[in-house]
Amino acid sequence: MSQAILWGCLLRFTQSALQAAPFIFTGLCITGLLHRLMGHQHTRRLFGSNTVASLFQSWLIGMLLPGCSLGVIPIVKQLRRSGIAVGTIFAFALSSPLFDPLSMLYGLTLSKPITIIAFAFCSLVVVTISGSIFDWLFPNTEVAVEEPPATPYGIKRLLAVLVVMARETVSGTAGLILCGLVGAAALSLALPPSSLGSSMGHDNPYSPLLMTAIAIPAYATPMTAMGQLGSMFQHGNSVGAAFILLIFGAGMNLGLLTWMLLNYGWKKSLVWFGLMLLIVIGFSYGIERPLYPTDIEPSDHTHAFDIYCQPFHANSPPVAGYPVEIWRRIKLETQLHEMVGAAFLAGLTCLGLILKCLDRRWVIETWLHRQPALAANTKPLKWDIVVPGPVLAMVGLLTIIAGSIVGCFTYYPDPAETLEELNLAKTEALSAALSGNAEHALHWIPICESWNRRLQVGAYLRHGRLSDYHRMKARVFADKLEFLEHAVGEGDRDEAKEYVVAASAAYSRLRAAYSEDL
Protein backbone atom coordinates (compact mmCIF):
# COMPACT_ATOMS: atom_id res chain seq x y z
CA MET A 1 0.00 0.00 0.00
CA SER A 2 1.49 3.34 -1.08
CA GLN A 3 2.33 6.18 1.25
CA ALA A 4 -0.24 8.40 -0.48
CA ILE A 5 -3.08 6.05 0.48
CA LEU A 6 -1.98 5.66 4.10
CA TRP A 7 -1.44 9.40 4.65
CA GLY A 8 -4.70 10.14 2.87
CA CYS A 9 -6.51 7.74 5.18
CA LEU A 10 -5.03 9.56 8.19
CA LEU A 11 -6.15 12.93 6.79
CA ARG A 12 -9.73 11.71 6.26
CA PHE A 13 -9.80 10.28 9.80
CA THR A 14 -8.60 13.56 11.32
CA GLN A 15 -10.98 15.68 9.24
CA SER A 16 -13.96 13.54 10.26
CA ALA A 17 -12.95 13.62 13.94
CA LEU A 18 -12.69 17.42 13.97
CA GLN A 19 -16.00 17.88 12.14
CA ALA A 20 -17.70 15.54 14.61
CA ALA A 21 -16.17 17.06 17.78
CA PRO A 22 -18.81 19.75 18.53
CA PHE A 23 -21.66 17.31 17.85
CA ILE A 24 -20.12 14.62 20.06
CA PHE A 25 -19.78 17.19 22.85
CA THR A 26 -23.45 18.17 22.42
CA GLY A 27 -24.42 14.49 22.50
CA LEU A 28 -22.53 14.03 25.76
CA CYS A 29 -24.32 17.06 27.25
CA ILE A 30 -27.70 15.59 26.31
CA THR A 31 -26.68 12.21 27.72
CA GLY A 32 -25.68 13.76 31.05
CA LEU A 33 -28.96 15.71 31.27
CA LEU A 34 -31.05 12.62 30.55
CA HIS A 35 -29.14 10.38 32.95
CA ARG A 36 -28.69 12.61 36.00
CA LEU A 37 -31.57 15.11 35.76
CA MET A 38 -34.32 13.53 33.68
CA GLY A 39 -33.97 9.95 34.94
CA HIS A 40 -35.25 6.79 33.27
CA GLN A 41 -38.93 7.29 34.00
CA HIS A 42 -39.15 10.84 32.67
CA THR A 43 -36.96 9.97 29.68
CA ARG A 44 -39.42 7.24 28.73
CA ARG A 45 -42.26 9.73 29.09
CA LEU A 46 -40.47 12.23 26.85
CA PHE A 47 -39.56 9.79 24.06
CA GLY A 48 -42.26 7.16 24.49
CA SER A 49 -41.63 3.52 23.66
CA ASN A 50 -43.01 0.74 21.47
CA THR A 51 -45.85 2.76 19.91
CA VAL A 52 -46.35 4.61 16.63
CA ALA A 53 -46.73 7.84 18.61
CA SER A 54 -43.34 7.25 20.24
CA LEU A 55 -41.73 6.98 16.79
CA PHE A 56 -43.09 10.39 15.87
CA GLN A 57 -42.03 11.86 19.23
CA SER A 58 -38.46 10.61 18.80
CA TRP A 59 -38.33 11.79 15.19
CA LEU A 60 -39.49 15.28 16.20
CA ILE A 61 -37.04 15.52 19.13
CA GLY A 62 -34.25 14.36 16.83
CA MET A 63 -35.16 17.03 14.28
CA LEU A 64 -34.99 19.78 16.91
CA LEU A 65 -31.75 18.80 18.63
CA PRO A 66 -28.45 19.42 16.80
CA GLY A 67 -26.45 16.25 16.28
CA CYS A 68 -24.59 13.94 13.95
CA SER A 69 -24.45 10.17 13.56
CA LEU A 70 -21.43 9.96 15.89
CA GLY A 71 -22.84 12.39 18.44
CA VAL A 72 -26.01 10.32 18.89
CA ILE A 73 -24.07 7.23 20.02
CA PRO A 74 -23.91 8.17 23.74
CA ILE A 75 -27.57 9.27 23.56
CA VAL A 76 -28.84 5.96 22.14
CA LYS A 77 -26.91 4.12 24.85
CA GLN A 78 -28.70 6.24 27.44
CA LEU A 79 -32.09 5.68 25.78
CA ARG A 80 -31.51 1.92 25.96
CA ARG A 81 -30.64 2.22 29.67
CA SER A 82 -33.91 4.09 30.13
CA GLY A 83 -35.89 1.09 28.88
CA ILE A 84 -36.89 2.40 25.43
CA ALA A 85 -37.60 0.05 22.52
CA VAL A 86 -35.20 -0.27 19.60
CA GLY A 87 -37.60 1.17 17.02
CA THR A 88 -38.02 4.35 19.04
CA ILE A 89 -34.29 4.61 19.69
CA PHE A 90 -33.43 4.44 16.02
CA ALA A 91 -36.22 6.84 15.08
CA PHE A 92 -34.25 9.38 17.11
CA ALA A 93 -30.82 8.13 16.00
CA LEU A 94 -31.68 8.50 12.31
CA SER A 95 -33.52 11.82 12.49
CA SER A 96 -31.16 13.77 14.75
CA PRO A 97 -28.21 13.72 12.27
CA LEU A 98 -30.38 14.60 9.26
CA PHE A 99 -31.75 18.02 10.10
CA ASP A 100 -31.20 20.80 12.60
CA PRO A 101 -32.04 24.52 12.36
CA LEU A 102 -28.74 25.30 10.59
CA SER A 103 -28.96 22.56 7.97
CA MET A 104 -32.72 22.91 7.48
CA LEU A 105 -32.37 26.59 6.57
CA TYR A 106 -29.45 25.71 4.31
CA GLY A 107 -31.53 23.03 2.63
CA LEU A 108 -34.53 25.27 1.99
CA THR A 109 -32.42 27.42 -0.37
CA LEU A 110 -30.78 24.54 -2.25
CA SER A 111 -33.50 23.93 -4.80
CA LYS A 112 -37.25 24.15 -4.57
CA PRO A 113 -38.17 24.12 -0.85
CA ILE A 114 -40.64 21.32 -1.53
CA THR A 115 -37.69 18.98 -2.19
CA ILE A 116 -36.23 19.36 1.32
CA ILE A 117 -39.68 19.28 2.91
CA ALA A 118 -40.36 16.06 1.01
CA PHE A 119 -37.04 14.62 2.21
CA ALA A 120 -37.97 15.45 5.82
CA PHE A 121 -41.42 13.86 5.40
CA CYS A 122 -39.90 10.77 3.76
CA SER A 123 -37.49 10.40 6.68
CA LEU A 124 -40.49 10.37 9.04
CA VAL A 125 -42.19 7.71 6.92
CA VAL A 126 -39.00 5.63 6.84
CA VAL A 127 -38.52 5.60 10.63
CA THR A 128 -42.25 5.03 11.21
CA ILE A 129 -42.59 2.07 8.86
CA SER A 130 -39.28 0.42 9.74
CA GLY A 131 -39.74 1.05 13.47
CA SER A 132 -43.34 -0.21 13.51
CA ILE A 133 -42.48 -3.40 11.63
CA PHE A 134 -39.44 -4.05 13.81
CA ASP A 135 -41.32 -3.46 17.06
CA TRP A 136 -44.09 -5.76 15.80
CA LEU A 137 -41.59 -8.51 14.99
CA PHE A 138 -39.64 -8.02 18.23
CA PRO A 139 -42.02 -6.52 20.81
CA ASN A 140 -39.85 -6.96 23.91
CA THR A 141 -36.65 -5.04 23.27
CA GLU A 142 -36.90 -2.75 26.31
CA VAL A 143 -34.19 -3.28 28.90
CA ALA A 144 -35.06 -3.05 32.61
CA VAL A 145 -32.46 -0.95 34.42
CA GLU A 146 -32.76 0.44 37.92
CA GLU A 147 -33.26 4.18 38.32
CA PRO A 148 -29.92 5.89 39.09
CA PRO A 149 -29.49 7.05 42.71
CA ALA A 150 -30.79 10.53 43.38
CA THR A 151 -28.21 13.29 43.68
CA PRO A 152 -28.78 16.02 46.30
CA TYR A 153 -30.04 19.35 45.07
CA GLY A 154 -27.46 22.03 44.39
CA ILE A 155 -24.02 22.02 42.86
CA LYS A 156 -23.70 18.24 43.22
CA ARG A 157 -26.40 17.69 40.58
CA LEU A 158 -24.50 19.77 38.07
CA LEU A 159 -21.23 18.02 38.94
CA ALA A 160 -23.00 14.67 38.46
CA VAL A 161 -23.89 15.67 34.87
CA LEU A 162 -20.25 16.56 34.22
CA VAL A 163 -19.09 13.23 35.68
CA VAL A 164 -21.45 11.30 33.39
CA MET A 165 -20.07 13.19 30.38
CA ALA A 166 -16.46 12.55 31.41
CA ARG A 167 -17.01 8.84 32.04
CA GLU A 168 -18.68 8.40 28.64
CA THR A 169 -15.56 9.69 26.88
CA VAL A 170 -13.45 6.84 28.30
CA SER A 171 -16.11 4.12 28.04
CA GLY A 172 -17.28 1.91 25.21
CA THR A 173 -18.74 5.03 23.61
CA ALA A 174 -15.24 6.09 22.58
CA GLY A 175 -14.69 2.72 20.89
CA LEU A 176 -17.95 3.00 18.94
CA ILE A 177 -17.12 6.52 17.81
CA LEU A 178 -13.68 5.30 16.79
CA CYS A 179 -15.39 2.55 14.74
CA GLY A 180 -17.39 5.18 12.87
CA LEU A 181 -14.29 7.29 12.18
CA VAL A 182 -12.28 4.28 11.00
CA GLY A 183 -15.10 3.37 8.60
CA ALA A 184 -15.04 6.85 7.10
CA ALA A 185 -11.25 6.76 6.77
CA ALA A 186 -11.22 3.24 5.31
CA LEU A 187 -13.68 4.30 2.61
CA SER A 188 -10.95 6.42 1.05
CA LEU A 189 -8.82 3.29 0.63
CA ALA A 190 -11.29 1.97 -1.94
CA LEU A 191 -11.94 5.24 -3.79
CA PRO A 192 -9.17 6.78 -5.93
CA PRO A 193 -8.96 10.60 -6.08
CA SER A 194 -12.03 12.23 -7.70
CA SER A 195 -13.34 8.81 -8.74
CA LEU A 196 -16.98 9.70 -7.96
CA GLY A 197 -17.10 12.82 -10.12
CA SER A 198 -19.46 11.42 -12.77
CA SER A 199 -21.06 8.46 -10.97
CA MET A 200 -24.37 9.87 -9.67
CA GLY A 201 -26.14 10.88 -12.87
CA HIS A 202 -29.92 11.13 -13.02
CA ASP A 203 -29.95 8.80 -16.04
CA ASN A 204 -27.89 6.12 -14.27
CA PRO A 205 -30.33 3.60 -12.71
CA TYR A 206 -27.58 2.28 -10.43
CA SER A 207 -26.83 5.66 -8.80
CA PRO A 208 -28.93 4.98 -5.65
CA LEU A 209 -27.34 1.56 -5.19
CA LEU A 210 -23.83 2.92 -5.61
CA MET A 211 -24.59 5.75 -3.18
CA THR A 212 -25.86 3.18 -0.64
CA ALA A 213 -22.53 1.34 -0.72
CA ILE A 214 -20.65 4.61 -0.23
CA ALA A 215 -22.93 6.30 2.30
CA ILE A 216 -23.13 3.53 4.91
CA PRO A 217 -19.42 3.60 5.92
CA ALA A 218 -19.13 7.34 5.19
CA TYR A 219 -19.46 10.08 7.77
CA ALA A 220 -21.07 13.46 7.06
CA THR A 221 -22.33 16.19 9.36
CA PRO A 222 -25.80 17.59 8.55
CA MET A 223 -24.25 20.70 6.98
CA THR A 224 -21.80 18.66 4.89
CA ALA A 225 -24.60 16.42 3.65
CA MET A 226 -26.76 19.46 2.79
CA GLY A 227 -23.86 21.02 0.88
CA GLN A 228 -23.47 17.81 -1.10
CA LEU A 229 -27.20 17.74 -1.79
CA GLY A 230 -26.95 21.29 -3.08
CA SER A 231 -24.16 20.30 -5.46
CA MET A 232 -26.20 17.31 -6.64
CA PHE A 233 -29.25 19.47 -7.33
CA GLN A 234 -27.09 22.07 -9.08
CA HIS A 235 -25.54 19.44 -11.34
CA GLY A 236 -28.78 17.60 -12.07
CA ASN A 237 -27.64 14.42 -10.30
CA SER A 238 -29.90 11.63 -9.10
CA VAL A 239 -32.47 12.81 -6.52
CA GLY A 240 -32.77 9.23 -5.23
CA ALA A 241 -29.03 9.08 -4.63
CA ALA A 242 -29.27 12.43 -2.80
CA PHE A 243 -31.96 11.02 -0.51
CA ILE A 244 -29.83 7.98 0.28
CA LEU A 245 -26.83 10.23 0.95
CA LEU A 246 -28.91 12.12 3.51
CA ILE A 247 -30.41 9.06 5.24
CA PHE A 248 -27.37 6.78 5.28
CA GLY A 249 -24.44 9.21 4.83
CA ALA A 250 -25.57 11.66 7.52
CA GLY A 251 -27.78 9.33 9.56
CA MET A 252 -25.69 6.19 9.91
CA ASN A 253 -22.12 5.01 10.46
CA LEU A 254 -20.31 1.80 11.32
CA GLY A 255 -20.22 2.75 15.01
CA LEU A 256 -24.03 2.78 15.24
CA LEU A 257 -24.26 -0.53 13.41
CA THR A 258 -21.67 -2.03 15.76
CA TRP A 259 -23.67 -0.83 18.79
CA MET A 260 -26.80 -2.43 17.37
CA LEU A 261 -24.97 -5.70 16.78
CA LEU A 262 -23.37 -5.82 20.24
CA ASN A 263 -26.59 -5.09 22.11
CA TYR A 264 -29.25 -6.89 20.07
CA GLY A 265 -27.44 -9.68 18.25
CA TRP A 266 -27.13 -10.71 14.62
CA LYS A 267 -30.76 -11.62 13.97
CA LYS A 268 -32.38 -8.38 15.13
CA SER A 269 -29.59 -6.29 13.62
CA LEU A 270 -29.93 -7.93 10.20
CA VAL A 271 -33.72 -7.61 10.26
CA TRP A 272 -33.58 -3.92 11.16
CA PHE A 273 -30.83 -3.17 8.63
CA GLY A 274 -32.67 -5.12 5.93
CA LEU A 275 -35.87 -3.16 6.60
CA MET A 276 -33.98 0.11 6.34
CA LEU A 277 -32.31 -0.85 3.08
CA LEU A 278 -35.56 -2.06 1.52
CA ILE A 279 -37.59 1.02 2.50
CA VAL A 280 -34.95 3.68 1.83
CA ILE A 281 -33.88 2.28 -1.55
CA GLY A 282 -37.54 1.86 -2.50
CA PHE A 283 -38.22 5.51 -1.63
CA SER A 284 -35.15 6.64 -3.55
CA TYR A 285 -36.45 5.16 -6.80
CA GLY A 286 -39.98 6.36 -6.09
CA ILE A 287 -39.05 10.04 -5.67
CA GLU A 288 -36.53 10.18 -8.54
CA ARG A 289 -38.86 11.52 -11.22
CA PRO A 290 -41.37 13.56 -9.15
CA LEU A 291 -38.69 15.60 -7.37
CA TYR A 292 -36.12 15.93 -10.16
CA PRO A 293 -35.52 19.65 -10.95
CA THR A 294 -36.47 20.04 -14.61
CA ASP A 295 -35.01 23.55 -14.89
CA ILE A 296 -31.44 22.30 -14.31
CA GLU A 297 -29.09 21.41 -17.14
CA PRO A 298 -27.40 18.14 -16.10
CA SER A 299 -23.63 18.23 -15.70
CA ASP A 300 -21.35 15.26 -16.23
CA HIS A 301 -18.98 16.07 -13.38
CA THR A 302 -19.02 17.21 -9.73
CA HIS A 303 -16.54 17.54 -6.88
CA ALA A 304 -19.20 17.08 -4.19
CA PHE A 305 -17.99 13.59 -3.23
CA ASP A 306 -14.24 14.20 -3.28
CA ILE A 307 -14.18 14.23 0.54
CA TYR A 308 -14.94 10.48 0.50
CA CYS A 309 -12.12 9.72 -1.95
CA GLN A 310 -8.38 9.47 -1.49
CA PRO A 311 -7.07 13.06 -1.19
CA PHE A 312 -3.57 12.46 -2.57
CA HIS A 313 -2.37 11.33 -6.00
CA ALA A 314 0.32 8.68 -5.70
CA ASN A 315 2.26 10.09 -8.70
CA SER A 316 2.33 13.68 -7.37
CA PRO A 317 3.21 13.77 -3.65
CA PRO A 318 3.21 17.12 -1.81
CA VAL A 319 6.43 19.10 -2.21
CA ALA A 320 6.87 19.59 1.55
CA GLY A 321 5.93 16.00 2.39
CA TYR A 322 2.72 14.37 3.58
CA PRO A 323 2.87 15.34 7.31
CA VAL A 324 3.39 19.02 6.49
CA GLU A 325 0.61 18.98 3.89
CA ILE A 326 -1.83 17.29 6.29
CA TRP A 327 -1.05 19.84 9.00
CA ARG A 328 -1.48 22.70 6.50
CA ARG A 329 -4.88 21.41 5.38
CA ILE A 330 -6.08 20.86 8.93
CA LYS A 331 -5.12 24.41 9.93
CA LEU A 332 -6.78 25.93 6.87
CA GLU A 333 -9.98 23.88 6.90
CA THR A 334 -10.77 23.51 10.60
CA GLN A 335 -13.43 25.98 11.77
CA LEU A 336 -13.56 27.69 15.15
CA HIS A 337 -16.48 25.66 16.53
CA GLU A 338 -14.65 22.45 15.57
CA MET A 339 -11.53 23.51 17.45
CA VAL A 340 -13.60 24.49 20.50
CA GLY A 341 -15.46 21.18 20.39
CA ALA A 342 -12.19 19.24 20.14
CA ALA A 343 -10.76 21.20 23.11
CA PHE A 344 -13.84 20.45 25.25
CA LEU A 345 -13.65 16.75 24.34
CA ALA A 346 -9.97 16.66 25.22
CA GLY A 347 -10.76 18.22 28.62
CA LEU A 348 -13.56 15.71 29.28
CA THR A 349 -11.30 12.83 28.29
CA CYS A 350 -8.59 13.98 30.70
CA LEU A 351 -11.19 14.27 33.47
CA GLY A 352 -12.52 10.81 32.64
CA LEU A 353 -9.04 9.30 32.85
CA ILE A 354 -8.42 11.02 36.20
CA LEU A 355 -11.70 9.66 37.58
CA LYS A 356 -10.75 6.16 36.41
CA CYS A 357 -7.48 6.40 38.30
CA LEU A 358 -9.24 7.71 41.41
CA ASP A 359 -11.78 4.86 41.33
CA ARG A 360 -9.20 2.54 42.93
CA ARG A 361 -9.26 4.60 46.13
CA TRP A 362 -12.24 6.94 45.98
CA VAL A 363 -15.33 6.77 43.76
CA ILE A 364 -16.70 10.25 43.20
CA GLU A 365 -20.29 9.01 42.77
CA THR A 366 -20.29 7.87 46.41
CA TRP A 367 -19.74 11.44 47.49
CA LEU A 368 -22.16 12.89 44.91
CA HIS A 369 -25.02 10.64 46.04
CA ARG A 370 -24.47 11.19 49.78
CA GLN A 371 -27.36 13.17 51.23
CA PRO A 372 -26.36 16.05 53.55
CA ALA A 373 -27.22 15.74 57.22
CA LEU A 374 -29.68 18.49 58.24
CA ALA A 375 -30.22 19.75 61.74
CA ALA A 376 -33.73 19.36 63.15
CA ASN A 377 -34.30 23.12 63.46
CA THR A 378 -32.88 24.02 60.04
CA LYS A 379 -35.23 26.12 57.93
CA PRO A 380 -34.84 26.61 54.16
CA LEU A 381 -33.82 30.07 53.02
CA LYS A 382 -36.50 32.30 51.49
CA TRP A 383 -35.02 32.09 48.00
CA ASP A 384 -33.80 28.50 48.32
CA ILE A 385 -36.18 27.01 45.73
CA VAL A 386 -35.80 23.35 44.85
CA VAL A 387 -36.15 22.81 41.10
CA PRO A 388 -37.02 19.24 40.05
CA GLY A 389 -34.39 17.48 37.96
CA PRO A 390 -36.66 16.89 34.92
CA VAL A 391 -37.43 20.62 34.81
CA LEU A 392 -33.71 21.43 34.79
CA ALA A 393 -33.15 18.82 32.09
CA MET A 394 -35.89 20.29 29.88
CA VAL A 395 -34.43 23.77 30.39
CA GLY A 396 -31.05 22.39 29.33
CA LEU A 397 -32.47 20.71 26.21
CA LEU A 398 -34.42 23.84 25.25
CA THR A 399 -31.26 25.90 25.77
CA ILE A 400 -29.40 23.64 23.33
CA ILE A 401 -32.20 24.07 20.77
CA ALA A 402 -32.31 27.84 21.33
CA GLY A 403 -28.54 28.02 21.00
CA SER A 404 -28.64 26.29 17.63
CA ILE A 405 -31.34 28.71 16.43
CA VAL A 406 -29.34 31.73 17.59
CA GLY A 407 -26.31 30.18 15.92
CA CYS A 408 -28.14 30.40 12.60
CA PHE A 409 -27.85 34.19 12.67
CA THR A 410 -24.14 33.91 13.45
CA TYR A 411 -23.32 31.27 10.86
CA TYR A 412 -25.48 33.01 8.23
CA PRO A 413 -24.64 36.72 8.64
CA ASP A 414 -26.43 39.67 7.11
CA PRO A 415 -25.98 39.72 3.28
CA ALA A 416 -23.89 42.90 3.46
CA GLU A 417 -21.39 41.23 5.80
CA THR A 418 -21.41 38.02 3.78
CA LEU A 419 -20.69 39.91 0.57
CA GLU A 420 -17.59 41.42 2.16
CA GLU A 421 -16.32 38.00 3.22
CA LEU A 422 -17.16 36.60 -0.21
CA ASN A 423 -15.28 39.45 -1.85
CA LEU A 424 -12.14 38.67 0.17
CA ALA A 425 -12.33 34.96 -0.66
CA LYS A 426 -13.03 35.74 -4.34
CA THR A 427 -10.01 38.03 -4.53
CA GLU A 428 -7.75 35.32 -3.08
CA ALA A 429 -9.12 32.64 -5.43
CA LEU A 430 -9.02 34.70 -8.63
CA SER A 431 -5.59 36.18 -7.90
CA ALA A 432 -4.15 32.73 -7.29
CA ALA A 433 -5.73 31.38 -10.48
CA LEU A 434 -4.26 34.25 -12.52
CA SER A 435 -0.79 33.79 -11.06
CA GLY A 436 -0.85 30.03 -11.63
CA ASN A 437 -0.85 29.11 -7.94
CA ALA A 438 -3.21 26.16 -8.37
CA GLU A 439 -2.95 24.92 -4.79
CA HIS A 440 -3.96 28.30 -3.34
CA ALA A 441 -6.78 28.72 -5.86
CA LEU A 442 -8.19 25.25 -5.21
CA HIS A 443 -8.26 26.04 -1.50
CA TRP A 444 -10.12 29.36 -1.86
CA ILE A 445 -12.63 28.39 -4.56
CA PRO A 446 -14.61 26.06 -2.20
CA ILE A 447 -14.58 28.86 0.40
CA CYS A 448 -16.14 31.18 -2.19
CA GLU A 449 -18.77 28.53 -2.90
CA SER A 450 -19.51 28.21 0.82
CA TRP A 451 -19.96 31.98 1.27
CA ASN A 452 -22.16 32.04 -1.83
CA ARG A 453 -24.47 29.49 -0.20
CA ARG A 454 -24.43 31.31 3.13
CA LEU A 455 -25.32 34.54 1.34
CA GLN A 456 -28.54 32.97 0.09
CA VAL A 457 -29.43 31.44 3.44
CA GLY A 458 -28.71 34.70 5.29
CA ALA A 459 -31.02 36.57 2.94
CA TYR A 460 -33.72 33.91 3.27
CA LEU A 461 -33.42 33.92 7.07
CA ARG A 462 -33.89 37.68 7.36
CA HIS A 463 -36.43 38.31 4.61
CA GLY A 464 -38.36 35.05 4.61
CA ARG A 465 -38.00 34.65 0.86
CA LEU A 466 -35.45 34.23 -1.90
CA SER A 467 -36.57 35.13 -5.41
CA ASP A 468 -35.72 33.15 -8.52
CA TYR A 469 -33.73 36.18 -9.69
CA HIS A 470 -31.43 36.02 -6.66
CA ARG A 471 -31.12 32.25 -6.94
CA MET A 472 -30.14 32.63 -10.60
CA LYS A 473 -27.40 35.19 -9.86
CA ALA A 474 -25.95 32.95 -7.16
CA ARG A 475 -26.17 29.90 -9.44
CA VAL A 476 -24.36 31.70 -12.30
CA PHE A 477 -21.54 32.71 -9.94
CA ALA A 478 -21.33 29.14 -8.61
CA ASP A 479 -21.15 27.78 -12.18
CA LYS A 480 -18.31 30.15 -13.11
CA LEU A 481 -16.42 29.13 -9.98
CA GLU A 482 -16.82 25.48 -10.85
CA PHE A 483 -15.58 26.00 -14.42
CA LEU A 484 -12.62 27.87 -13.00
CA GLU A 485 -11.94 25.01 -10.56
CA HIS A 486 -11.88 22.51 -13.43
CA ALA A 487 -9.56 24.71 -15.50
CA VAL A 488 -7.14 25.24 -12.59
CA GLY A 489 -7.20 21.55 -11.71
CA GLU A 490 -6.38 20.58 -15.29
CA GLY A 491 -3.57 23.15 -15.51
CA ASP A 492 -5.09 25.06 -18.45
CA ARG A 493 -3.78 28.61 -17.82
CA ASP A 494 -5.53 30.24 -20.79
CA GLU A 495 -8.91 28.77 -19.94
CA ALA A 496 -8.41 29.67 -16.29
CA LYS A 497 -7.83 33.32 -17.22
CA GLU A 498 -11.08 33.36 -19.19
CA TYR A 499 -13.05 32.00 -16.24
CA VAL A 500 -11.38 34.44 -13.86
CA VAL A 501 -12.87 37.28 -15.91
CA ALA A 502 -16.24 35.50 -16.08
CA ALA A 503 -16.31 34.79 -12.35
CA SER A 504 -15.39 38.39 -11.53
CA ALA A 505 -18.22 39.71 -13.71
CA ALA A 506 -20.68 37.21 -12.19
CA TYR A 507 -19.70 38.34 -8.70
CA SER A 508 -20.30 41.99 -9.59
CA ARG A 509 -23.81 41.16 -10.81
CA LEU A 510 -24.40 39.03 -7.71
CA ARG A 511 -23.32 41.85 -5.41
CA ALA A 512 -25.56 44.34 -7.18
CA ALA A 513 -28.56 42.00 -6.95
CA TYR A 514 -28.20 41.28 -3.23
CA SER A 515 -27.23 44.84 -2.28
CA GLU A 516 -30.06 46.68 -4.00
CA ASP A 517 -33.03 44.39 -4.58
CA LEU A 518 -33.56 42.70 -1.20
Domain-embedded: residue 351: no
Residue 316 half-sphere exposure, CB side, CA atoms within 13 Å? 6
- Domain boundary at 344, 368, 384, which? 344
Domain-embedded: residue 366: no
Domain-embedded: residue 388: no
Contact yes or no for 179/258 (Cβ under 8 A): yes
Contact yes or no for 99/131 (Cβ under 8 A): no
Domain-embedded: residue 397: no
276 with 419, same domain: the answer is no
SS (H, E, C) 275-326: HHHHHHHHHHHHCHHHHCCCCCCCCCCCCCCHHHCCCCCCCCCCCCCHHHHH
Nearest Cα to Cα of residue 416 among 362, 455, 365 = 455
Q: Structurally, how many domains does the chain consist of?
A: 2
Nearest Cα to Cα of residue 425 among 481, 466, 479 = 481
- CATH classification at residue 434: 1.20.120.290
282 with 417, same domain: the answer is no
286 with 424, same domain: the answer is no
Distances (CA, A) of 492 to 12, 58, 264, 499, 506: 28, 52, 56, 11, 21
Domain-embedded: residue 135: yes
Domain-embedded: residue 57: yes
Q: What is the pLDDT along the chain (518 residues), one digit of tens a residue?
A: 578 888 889 999 999 999 999 999 999 999 999 998 888 888 888 888 777 888 888 888 888 888 889 999 999 999 999 888 888 888 888 888 887 777 777 776 665 667 778 888 888 888 888 888 888 888 877 887 788 887 887 788 889 999 999 999 999 999 999 999 998 898 888 888 877 767 777 778 888 888 888 888 888 888 788 777 777 777 777 888 888 888 888 888 899 999 999 988 898 889 988 988 999 999 888 888 887 776 666 666 666 777 888 888 877 787 778 888 888 888 878 888 899 999 999 999 999 999 999 888 888 888 888 877 655 555 655 555 677 878 888 888 888 888 877 777 787 888 889 999 999 999 999 999 988 888 788 888 888 988 888 888 888 888 877 788 888 888 889 889 988 988 887 788 888 889 999 999 999 999 998 887 65
Q: How far is CA 212 from the centre of its chain?
A: 17
Nearest Cα to Cα of residue 46 among 388, 403, 387, 393 = 393
284 with 417, same domain: the answer is no
Domain-embedded: residue 498: yes
Domain-embedded: residue 331: no
In b/e form, how buried is each residue of 345-360, taking b as 16+ CB within 10 angstroms?
A: beebeebbeebeeeee
92 with 234, same domain: the answer is yes
| d(C-alpha 224, C-alpha 227), whole Å | 5
Work out the number of other CB atoms within 10 angstroms of the CB of residue 206.
Answer: 12
Work out the number of other CB atoms within 10 angstroms of the CB of residue 284.
Answer: 24
In b/e form, how buried is each residue of 73-94, taking b as 16+ CB within 10 angstroms?
A: bbbbbbbbbbbbbbbbbbbbbb
> pTM for the complete prediction?
0.86
| d(C-alpha 474, C-alpha 482), whole Å | 12
Structural domain including 461 reads 413-516
Nearest Cα to Cα of residue 134 among 249, 30, 55, 76 = 55
417 with 275, same domain: the answer is no
